[in-house]
Amino acid sequence: MRSQESGLEDLNVAERGDGPRVVVWLHGFLGSGSEFLPFAESLTGRFRSLLVDLPGHGASPIGEQTSYEGWSGSIRDAVDQRGLKRFDLIGYSMGGRVALDFALRYPGRVRRLVLESTNPGIVDSAARRHRFTSDTLRADRLRSNGLDAFLKQWYGHGVFADLRTQPDTVGALLERRKLNRNSDVARVLRDLSPGNQPSHWKHLPGLSMPSLMIAGERDGKYRSISIRAACQSRSIRRVTVPGVGHNVHMGAPDTYLAIVRRFLEGRVI
């Protein structure tokens, strides 16, 4: 279905828990809102959670506006339909990029912002073009070779090395990822490429809401990004989680939950 006001695709959103405050969760590439279900259930009593399937993932259709602006608009519609004025927003990787985009477009809507393994953007225009070209080629291979082959290559990256020490966890993750539609995720890989993302580094000093960047100790790239971002904005705090790589919430779920809970409750991290 389409939103009558914006023409954007409606998102599939699962609601869990109860409490006076609302948390919106945005997953990473190939994921779905359901992967945050254990955290949502742990936060009930203080927080109600909205677990979003981003377009082309889970039960959400891909739509026509596969862009950061379009996706932020779809999230705005989803919260508007539920009468929500302000909420906490949490995003992982691709979902973190979308969350940051949303927070900059609609700053009055976000009470607190959590960005896990998130890049505010690629500053150099030539590097952006190179990344877009690389992701376009990956998307073409995904369509040609299928999702199984793509997943083996994708999760062979060094940033996921810590997850490979948990074969049961990785096995369950891959089975969930295989439920995605090849053509949809290939389009997302191309259109939501960091090469198509506006660089938000120059906007970080004006970020108005309290924000937290979480990175894994074994993910040197994103650990460095979080350090740089915290130096550019007084609104941003950062935390490095020991012993894990890119996917912190899966690699160290208890630590991740404790950090998120403390931050949302306004306690010192």
Burial (CB count within 10 angstroms: exposed 0-12, middle 13-18, buried 19+), residue 170? middle
Residue 226 inside a domain? The answer is yes
Residue 94 inside a domain? The answer is yes
Provide the pLDDT confidence category of residue 2 given band limits of 50, 70 and 90: very low
Domain of 37, in residue numbers: 12-121+197-264
Instruction: Specify the pLDDT at position 158.
Output: 65
Residue 129 inside a domain? The answer is no
Least confident of 42-46, 135-139, 179-183, 258-262: 179-183
Residue 138 inside a domain? The answer is no
Residue 187 inside a domain? The answer is no
User: What CATH number is given to the structural domain containing 86?
Assistant: 3.40.50.1820
Residue 57 inside a domain? The answer is yes
Reading the block at residue 158, the tokens are: 């060094």
pLDDT digits (tens, 9 = 90+) for 116-165: 999 999 999 999 999 999 999 999 999 999 998 888 888 777 667 777 67
Strand partners, 237: 212
Q: Above 50 in pLDDT, residue 211?
A: yes
The count of domains in the chain is: 1
**The model's pTM:** 0.92
At 51, is the secondary structure helix, strand, or coil? strand
Residue 147 inside a domain? The answer is no
Instruction: Specify the pLDDT at position 1.
Output: 30
> Phi first, then psi: what are they for 210, rounded to 5°?
-55, 130
The answer to whether 8 touches 61, Cβ cutoff 8 Å, is no
pLDDT digits (tens, 9 = 90+) for 50-91: 999 999 999 999 987 789 999 999 999 999 999 999 999 999
Number of residues that make up the chain: 269
Residue 127 inside a domain? The answer is no
Q: Above 50 in pLDDT, residue 3?
A: no
Instruction: Specify the pLDDT at position 159.
Output: 64
